[in-house]
Structure 1
Amino acid sequence: MQTYKMWIDGEWVDADSGETFRTYNPATGEVVAEVPRAGLSDVDKAVAAARKALPAWRKKSQAERSEVVARIAAAVREHAGELAEMEIAEHGACAWHAPLMMGFAAGNLDLAAAGARTCTGLVLPPAPSKGDTPGAGPSTVAYMQREPVGVCALITPWNVPSLLISSKIGPALATGNTCVLKPPSLNSGIGLKWAEILAGLDLPPGVVNVITGPGATIGEALASHPGVDLVSFTGSSEVGKAIIAASSETVKTLIMELGGKNPAIVLEDADVEAAAKELCAIAFENVGQNCAQPSRMYVQEKVYDRFVKAFVAAAEDIKVGLPADKDTVMGPVVSAAQRDGIERYIRSALDEGATLATGGGRPADPALQNGFFVMPTVFTDVTEDMTITREEVFGPVVGIHRFTTDEQVLAAANDSVFGLCASVWTKDYARGLRMVGELQAGTVWINQHMNLAPETPWGGFKESGLAKEGGVIGAEGYTQLKLVYLKHL
């Protein structure tokens, strides 16, 4: 078991209360780390440290901030093995998956470092006023400049810990903000491992602070804190709404990447077997604990049976095992509570009339009995009113729906409170692009799903979130525009 402290104002500290809590290996149930349980006074200290560091940090040049973020990227690469081991132990990430996430995390930081030097404003040539017509005065130029928002509360999820830490810390620092990072309780050790890496880089005290504890206490305290100017949160829509409500008293800038219930539409002219194989791999990657997971499969009637056969065969071929084993494709879900919730969804699908095509239970392997495992689960004969269609399961559960016409499937795909992403599988690109125009989702792929370039913005419609993360557009979310009018004398 590893014991950690929090990182506040450039110092390692315990919680004021002295309280701690433990994190666990989801594959074995063994204790991984003991971390401080922060309280409200610890939040106050972290926010005060970030506020104290803000004036000097925001005055750093773009080149200086870029160099710092580039050093963080290099440090992540240097310590990638340690971070990957922590993700395997504390999150249950597979041995093949965790190193990939470290590479992606470093790539996010590379992009943020580059973006720090290209985030620009605009110069406007305003028309002069004439009579009652609004406009600028004579000899006037107007320009917009981007400035840091201020102190950022960065609240990250447990499903891809390092990836989401990098996607928030990088642009926040690069654009001149200071921050308080609150990693998830379930894998707080990973967040404090990041703190150790950051502490080794001699950043100015208070520029980054890392605190750990229950989201219901310190997450809400950060969201409502008058010293916090921006909240960037990734997690469920339910918790996101609570953060929005908590932040409303002080009207903060919000970046919210929330839940998804994402449709994949397979048309009759698609390469059916290839689509089934690829969608199956994506649906069960990270044990289905991805906000972009394609969990609603809509397959045209003519090719439905072929798709189901190929998809089920691919699901049954997935090797479920201990995440440290190199041949394991799918490990455990993150906690017993998460497993129990997934199993409730499975029971509800059966009770509501869906047909279980494969999975639905826990693995029989005795070596896995102490972990939080659920087999890849596929339901057919799924309808729009079923719970697994309406709600985000966030686990290895997929429902396969039939459809006949384009109009029918578009109506079904859009009949959701979520609007994060979708995909269309077809050889008729004109037809696919027509569907893209109708789908209510922040990202739509054709003949692929969940391929994400760090240069592109990510975010959803409806209850899937506010604003974007990633790329230049995502970095701009950590800035505010100031309009300046200058009159030449």
Structure 2
Amino acid sequence: MTIRMPVPVVKHDMLIGGRWTQAESGDIFESFDPYTGEPWAEVPRAGTADVDAAVEAASDAFRGEWRRMTATARGHLLRRFADRLAAAAETLAVLETRDNGKLINEMRMQLNYMPQWFHYFGGLADKIEGRVIPIDKPGVFNFTREEPLGVVVAITPWNSPLMLAAWKLAPALAAGNTIVWKPSEFSSVSALAFGKLFEEAGFPPGVVNIVTGFGHEIGDRLVRHPKVAKIAFTGGDATGQRVYQAAASELKKVTLELGGKSANIVFADARMESAIPGLVSGIFAASGQTCIAGSRALVQRSVLDEVVEKLVAFAKTARIGDPLDPETQVGPITTLPQRQKVLDYIDIAKGEGAECLLGGKVPEDPALAPGWFVEPTIFGGVASSMRIAQEEVFGPVLSVIPFEDEDEAVAIANDSIYGLASGLWTQDLGRALRMPDRLQTGSVWVNMYRATSYLSPFGGYKRSGIGRENGMSAIREYLQEKSVWIDTMNSVPSPFVQR
């Protein structure tokens, strides 16, 4: 068990054009530690003038030294950044845990893995190649170029701000774009510390800018700014829809990674010693605050009682506490409004007739009272039509839904406006190959759950998003193709007929 010592509230600056600065207005806002419920940092509250300055800095950098730099040199900078990131992993992990309440063990894993994104995309930077096309017109040489878009706005949420930023920044920078990054107002401190590493790695001023503030105050200006070419957004689908609408009005490109209501499907032939921890990992890891949370446990009816009994027993053992304590397995909810939303959904589920099998309330332990905790919660007797089975809770709340056979499992799993991820637990090889073809999700995990890699594309179907992050697919999201035509014959065709 850790003992938290009081720390002074630290005032931070944001990064614009290579300068660390306060907001032009001088306004700040407080960042709260979800475990203590107390403020621990002060962050600049950017306004539209700060947004304009950041976009101008990014635009100037795109037209300046960064654009003149060779792709090989850009890749070298990204790999140098990766080395700085690896050295700072422990510091950043602690900052992120203080910022959003996620477990220190998970933050250490993420931060130690994160340099691979910058090594991978740094290696891809000078592998971006066009094509020579054997065109069907005599005397014409035709080739293509892959070019950067320009200024990219990256907007990240509070649940995994650094990891989700890496998914955007690494491919965007490798492709030759410049960045204006707006982290969530609930988790900005780790982002600002992350930004210092770009300076240390030697990135030119203005290539990466970080503005901190509230989405409702600066989000629209970020998205609509005439010098912004693309928006890469991760967050809820309602906000994503507004971002998409604003971007569409300006004909800007977008990548949107949005919500989920993922089904974690257990068949009767599953290895229960793997499936039960897999169900727990899918929803109670990160206190359910992850877009890929397996918040719907679909269980074959013939083993329903067995699975529920073992699931409840296993979940009861989860240790709730200080996320900086390596022994803790379930931490707090990141924000106070989000905790209330989770508690409201628990009341909704009870009102719909779902049976609360575990949890369903704030922990009674007085030591946890200052923090924003919700007990791991499991509901039985859930029908697919219930709100608890259809709407994203984004908290440690699991709905158990029975099914008879593959067809019903697929029907229930696909009965969602979302399509981000799904899990499948079975020892039947044929089923393991059949089911992914039928599930309408961007990721399918078989006999595992909640795994991502810089090598493999990630994104959603339906309202879970547009575009892909990670892997070769990601860098294409930050490029545009140009076709170049050259007359090699010095011919003089008729100017009145299309050639």
Cα-to-partner distance string for 1:158-210 (whole Å, 9 max, x where unaligned): 11111112111111111100110101100111111112222333321111111
State the partner residue of 1:21: 29
> Contact conserved, 1:273 with 1:306, CA < 8 A, in 2?
no
State the partner residue of 1:4: 12
Cα-to-partner distance string for 1:414-461 (whole Å, 9 max, x where unaligned): 111101111221111212222211111111121111211210110001
State the partner residue of 1:197: 197
State the distance in 1 between where 2:145 and 2:429 align.
40
State the partner residue of 1:380: 380
Task: Call closer, same or farther: CA 1:119–1:429 in 2, change over 3 Å.
Answer: farther
State the partner residue of 1:183: 183
SS in 2 for 1:97: helix
State the partner residue of 2:221: 221
Please tell me whether residue 233 in structure 1 is matched to residue 233 in structure 2. yes
Superposition deviation, residue 361 in structure 1? 1.1
> Contact conserved, 2:363 with 2:373, CA < 8 A, in 1?
yes
Letter in 2 for 1:143: F
> Contact conserved, 1:440 with 1:461, CA < 8 A, in 2?
yes
Letter in 1 for 2:67: R
State the partner residue of 2:162: 162
Please tell me whether residue 67 in structure 1 is matched to residue 112 in structure 2. no
State the partner residue of 1:79: 88
Please tell me whether residue 347 in structure 1 is matched to residue 347 in structure 2. yes
State the partner residue of 1:148: 148
SS in 2 for 1:229: strand
State the distance in 2 between where 1:444 and 1:88 align.
28
Letter in 2 for 1:319: R
Please tell me whether residue 108 in structure 1 is matched to residue 78 in structure 2. no
Letter in 2 for 1:102: L
State the partner residue of 1:131: none
SS in 2 for 1:185: coil
> Contact conserved, 2:264 with 2:282, CA < 8 A, in 1?
no
State the distance in 2 between where 1:121 and 1:445 align.
34
State the partner residue of 2:323: 323
> Contact conserved, 1:109 with 1:167, CA < 8 A, in 2?
no
> Contact conserved, 1:38 with 1:218, CA < 8 A, in 2?
yes
State the distance in 1 between where 2:274 and 2:202 align.
49
Where does structure 2 lack aligned partners over 5 or more consecutive residues?
1-8, 490-499
Letter in 1 for 2:226: P
Letter in 2 for 1:108: W
State the distance in 2 between where 1:170 and 1:232 align.
12
Cα-to-partner distance string for 1:325-357 (whole Å, 9 max, x where unaligned): 121111101011111000001011111011111
State the partner residue of 2:97: 88
State the distance in 2 between where 1:256 and 1:123 align.
32
State the distance in 2 between where 1:220 and 1:459 align.
24
State the distance in 2 between where 1:41 and 1:142 align.
44
Where does structure 1 lack aligned partners over 5 or more consecutive residues?
129-136
> Contact conserved, 1:384 with 1:390, CA < 8 A, in 2?
yes
Cα-to-partner distance string for 1:363-384 (whole Å, 9 max, x where unaligned): 1221110000011111111101
> Contact conserved, 1:116 with 1:174, CA < 8 A, in 2?
yes
State the distance in 2 between where 1:263 and 1:452 align.
17
> Contact conserved, 2:264 with 2:297, CA < 8 A, in 1?
yes
> Contact conserved, 1:6 with 1:210, CA < 8 A, in 2?
yes
SS in 2 for 1:265: strand
State the distance in 2 between where 1:172 and 1:466 align.
16
Letter in 2 for 1:114: G
State the partner residue of 2:3: none
SS in 1 for 2:227: coil
Cα-to-partner distance string for 1:117-175 (whole Å, 9 max, x where unaligned): 2232333323x2xxxxxxxx114343332100110001011111111121111111111
> Contact conserved, 2:172 with 2:475, CA < 8 A, in 1?
yes
SS in 1 for 2:201: coil
State the distance in 1 between where 2:216 and 2:157 align.
14
> Contact conserved, 1:21 with 1:35, CA < 8 A, in 2?
yes
Superposition deviation, residue 487 in structure 1? 4.0
State the partner residue of 1:469: 469
Compare 84-93 and 232-241 and name the one that shifted more. Answer: 84-93
Superposition deviation, residue 269 in structure 1? 1.5
TM-score, normalising length from structure 2?
Answer: 0.94
State the partner residue of 2:402: 402
Task: Call closer, same or farther: CA 1:367–1:473 in 2, change over 3 Å.
Answer: same
State the distance in 1 between where 2:273 and 2:344 align.
31
State the distance in 2 between where 1:143 and 1:407 align.
49
Letter in 1 for 2:396: P
State the partner residue of 2:282: 282
State the partner residue of 1:258: 258
State the distance in 1 between where 2:128 and 2:14 align.
32
SS in 2 for 1:35: strand
State the distance in 2 between where 1:120 and 1:428 align.
42
State the distance in 1 between where 2:195 and 2:453 align.
26
Q: What pairs up with 1:332-343 in 2 under 5 angstroms?
A: 332-343=332-343
Letter in 2 for 1:140: V
Identity of aligned residues (%): 38
Letter in 2 for 1:164: L
State the distance in 2 between where 1:450 and 1:274 align.
14
TM-score, normalising length from structure 1?
Answer: 0.96
SS in 2 for 1:243: helix
SS in 2 for 1:393: coil
SS in 2 for 1:96: helix
State the partner residue of 1:133: none
> Contact conserved, 1:119 with 1:472, CA < 8 A, in 2?
no
Task: Call closer, same or farther: CA 1:305–1:119 in 2, change over 3 Å.
Answer: farther
Letter in 1 for 2:18: G
SS in 1 for 2:186: helix
State the partner residue of 1:42: 50
State the partner residue of 2:430: 430
Superposition deviation, residue 288 in structure 1? 0.8
State the distance in 1 between where 2:308 and 2:69 align.
56
Q: What pairs up with 1:114-125 in 2 under 5 angstroms?
A: 114-125=123-134
Letter in 1 for 2:112: G
Letter in 1 for 2:20: W
State the distance in 1 between where 2:99 and 2:161 align.
10
SS in 2 for 1:187: coil
SS in 1 for 2:104: coil
Superposition deviation, residue 249 in structure 1? 2.1
> Contact conserved, 1:277 with 1:310, CA < 8 A, in 2?
no
Task: Call closer, same or farther: CA 1:30–1:481 in 2, change over 3 Å.
Answer: same
SS in 1 for 2:482: strand
SS in 2 for 1:116: helix
Letter in 2 for 1:113: G
Alignment length (residue pairs): 480
Superposition deviation, residue 404 in structure 1? 0.7
Superposition deviation, residue 84 in structure 1? 1.0
Q: What pairs up with 1:297-316 in 2 under 5 angstroms?
A: 297-316=297-316
> Contact conserved, 1:345 with 1:393, CA < 8 A, in 2?
yes
Letter in 2 for 1:443: S
Cα-to-partner distance string for 1:269-324 (whole Å, 9 max, x where unaligned): 21134201222123211111111111111111111111111211111111000111
